[in-house]
Structure 1
Amino acid sequence: MNGSSSNEGKSLNGNPKQIEVFELLNSKNGPKHCTLTPWRVFRGVLCLVILLSTAFMMLIYWAPVVCLLLRLFSVHYSRKATSILFGTWLSLWPFLFEKINKTKVVFSGENVPEKERVLLFANHRTEVDWMYLWDLALRKGRLGYIKYILKSSLMKLPIFSWGFHILEFIPVERKWEVDEAIMRKKLSAFKDPQDPLWLAVFPEGTDYTEQKCIKSQQFAAENGLPILRNVLLPKTKGFNSCLESLRNSLDAVYDITIGYKHRCPLFIDNVFGVDPSEVHMHVQRILPREIPTSENEVTAWLMERFRLKDQLLSDFLTLGYFPHQGTEGDLSTPTCLVKCFVVVTLTIVFIYLTLFSSVLFKIYVSLSFTYLSFITYFGIQPQPVLGYVKGLFCGKKAC
């Protein structure tokens, strides 16, 4: 792969037509794959209304049960119930991408075994990369267990911020002096090997743009680092912290490279189904013992992974595909429809109970709304009562 990447890079530099294709595929402002028609606008708005309304009602009715009452007795079973319920709702997104928008999702590289605890790191082409990882997680039965490290401003989004908190995403300010303590505290809660885990990290820290790439290249040139064209230099402290905290409980680390045809999509492109035509994900499996242990060595290792990732993307932009395609099959349409039917039916029932049934349901909704707003704003996760009582008892006994 390395040799072919070098040759492709040389031919790319010398061929104006290939340069034009390269710039087009790197752009977020090129021509859209599908024309934005009134029908697509209507369909997109309808899908967004369904996604928001189902998210709101599922969170309002289920979150206090599985994330408060159940968690007071067992974090493990609370996470399991959360995975089943909210993983079912999350499956609506891959259904939208692959079945309604007809976006082709192509997986290549190595196959991902099921039932593994993994750390994933990927390049950050655009604002919706993280959503396409749901397509892979759904195929592996881990959709409800996937967690992200995301910028803290996203925790201010209405409704979605509740979901991010319930699913235990890790918000960061992208300032290590602020984030270090937060990350270590959050990561310490994910060490139990009995709890399934897919933790996704985007080491670049932000999505790719030409302006950011130029700044990244200037920094690289000044500090003797690789000059990268398709990715930004990774920020290594967050990745190293994840690896250091979880290494002993991980089955594998996955290096995922994401490429788009024929234009990098924005969130609104996904809603209206005008882009992308294809999403390609190349997967490389790495055992934790194959990764160095010291921080400096991990930094060098991650830099090298991104250099190889840059070469891989150069090949993709030239050839239109990653090597070893076809590692994952298509989503099951009947299964997607059943999950969609269940979520929509439950939402209709919840809306009816809220608006037309006993006043007790209105009180429940009001209390749930207040509870979700409170725990999300203050970043609170309930702790098991039995563990607290046991600790209190042991403390008194020691005295």
Structure 2
Amino acid sequence: MLLSLVLHTYSMRYVLPAAVMLGTAPTYILAWLGWRLFSFFVPGARIYQEVDDRFYNIYQSMVLFFFENYTGVQIILYGDLPKHKENIIYLSNHQCTVDWIVADILAVRQNALGHVRYVLKNGLKWLPLYGWYFSQMYLVIFPEGTRYNPELTKVISASQIYAAEQGLAVLKHVLTPRIKATYVAFDCMKNYLDAIYDVTVAYEGTVDQMGKRKEAPSMAEFLCKECPKVHIHIDRIDKKDVPEEQLSMRRWLHERFEIKDKLLIEFYDSPDSQRRNKFPGKCINSKLSLKKTLPSLLFLGGLTASMLMTESGRKLYVKTWIYGTVIGCLLVSIKV
């Protein structure tokens, strides 16, 4: 009985962050919608974009409060550590839903959190309230197209067979990357880019007692503090070093994933226990200050609490969930 209660209490550790992140969504959408309407009377698209980015920064900062400060996870950085804000395309291996948070983790350390945009799986556009908003975003790209899950052996096998048939190196810890999103993004944005960040992520604690790689943590597991460390390796590639022709870029992208694969083989499979569970080279333990996240939590939480304290506010809150979801789905359908 006591053990069951302890286990139940532990599993509920994600409920508070999930409730706050989802519960503040109508407040965020209403604030954004209010600014969107007001911006029609403000000259210049730049002003609208700056305030829109600021709203987005506030919400994402609140999310990072839970994923970093609340969980106490250690962020270990390797490679070309970002020193200042740049216009970039972020390429990463893809293992779980926490991966998009990792992009924010790097962005907040460059004071660029409000400018992060994503290429997301098509089905995510149907998320209540967020779906339409997310469907407008870009720049963070997961070229594998789907998550690498060691339990999905058919997906991994199909990816390896395809690579072999195409005369490409067969990869062990990542899937064969797809070129389309990367090529289109680079081709459209090359005149504005500074670099590509080639990012390799590994979640510590994802190896079982037999030394076999396990599935990466879900958001709920991450928020339950089941991941003690996230290891992030960054290669900064100047845009002049990226081939512009699609076939050449395809070979280049696969070579980048070969490098990722070698890093992950070192992390998961190194026979030397001293080299396992880390990437090669120097690293730093990067801790995020509460000053970066707590004000956003208090701001959005306070606005939401104020709305819910009145009957009219509660009605507006519920209507925002209902109508915001319906209208968002309609907009996505029309766009499709």
How far 1:376 moved relative to its partner? 5.1
Quick one: structure 1 residues 365 and 83, their matched pair in 2 at CA, closer, same or farther if it must change by over 3 Å? farther
Q: Verify the 8 A CA contact 2:74 2:285 in the aligned structure 1.
A: no
Matched, 1:242 2:185: yes
Matched, 1:270 2:195: no
Three-state SS of the structure 2 residue aligned to 1:256 is strand
Quick one: structure 1 residues 307 and 364, their matched pair in 2 at CA, closer, same or farther if it must change by over 3 Å? closer
Aligned residue pairs total 311
Q: Corresponding residue for 2:110?
A: 140
Q: Corresponding residue for 1:283?
A: 234
Q: Under a length normalisation based on structure 2, what TM-score does the superposition of the two structures give?
A: 0.84
Instruction: Report Cα offsets for 1:6-58 as digits up to 9, x if no partner.
Output: xxxxxxxxxxxxxxxxxxxxxxxxxxxxxx83333333212211111112222
Matches for 1:56-135 after TM superposition, within 5 Å: 56-59=26-29, 61-70=30-39, 73-135=43-105
Highest CA radius of gyration, 1 or 2? 1
Q: Verify the 8 A CA contact 1:123 1:204 in the aligned structure 2.
A: yes
Structure 2 residue corresponding to 1:169, chosen from 116, 119, 137: 137
Instruction: Report Cα offsets for 1:99-119 as digits up to 9, x if no partner.
Output: 212221111111213221111
Q: Verify the 8 A CA contact 1:261 1:278 in the aligned structure 2.
A: yes
Q: Corresponding residue for 1:208?
A: 148
Deviates more, 1:276-285 or 1:109-118: 109-118
Matched, 1:377 2:330: yes
Q: Distance in 1 between matches of 2:169 and 2:8?
A: 46
Q: Verify the 8 A CA contact 2:126 2:132 in the aligned structure 1.
A: no
Identity over aligned residues, as a percent?
28
Q: Verify the 8 A CA contact 1:228 1:307 in the aligned structure 2.
A: yes
Matched, 1:346 2:315: no
Q: Verify the 8 A CA contact 2:129 2:321 in the aligned structure 1.
A: no
Three-state SS of the structure 1 residue aligned to 2:118 is strand
Three-state SS of the structure 2 residue aligned to 1:149 is coil
Q: Distance in 1 between matches of 2:164 and 2:9?
A: 49
Q: Verify the 8 A CA contact 2:10 2:224 in the aligned structure 1.
A: yes
Quick one: structure 1 residues 240 and 206, their matched pair in 2 at CA, closer, same or farther if it must change by over 3 Å? same
Q: Verify the 8 A CA contact 1:64 1:368 in the aligned structure 2.
A: no
Corresponding letter in the other structure for 1:260 = Y
Q: Verify the 8 A CA contact 1:57 1:351 in the aligned structure 2.
A: no
Deviates more, 1:284-293 or 1:65-74: 65-74
Corresponding letter in the other structure for 2:60 = L
How far 1:371 moved relative to its partner? 6.0
Query: Cα RMSD between the aligned structures?
Result: 2.6
Q: Verify the 8 A CA contact 2:76 2:230 in the aligned structure 1.
A: yes
Q: Distance in 2 between matches of 1:233 and 1:48?
A: 33
Q: Verify the 8 A CA contact 1:292 1:301 in the aligned structure 2.
A: yes
Structure 2 residue corresponding to 1:260, chosen from 200, 203, 207: 203
* Structure 2 residue runs without a partner (length 5+): 1-5, 207-215, 271-275
Q: Distance in 1 between matches of 2:7 and 2:73?
A: 17
Q: Corresponding residue for 1:295?
A: 246
Q: Corresponding residue for 1:389?
A: none
Three-state SS of the structure 1 residue aligned to 2:286 is coil
Matches for 1:354-373 after TM superposition, within 5 Å: 355-356=311-312, 366=319, 370=323, 373=326
Q: Distance in 1 between matches of 2:187 and 2:66?
A: 36
Q: Distance in 1 between matches of 2:44 and 2:327?
A: 21
Corresponding letter in the other structure for 2:148 = Y
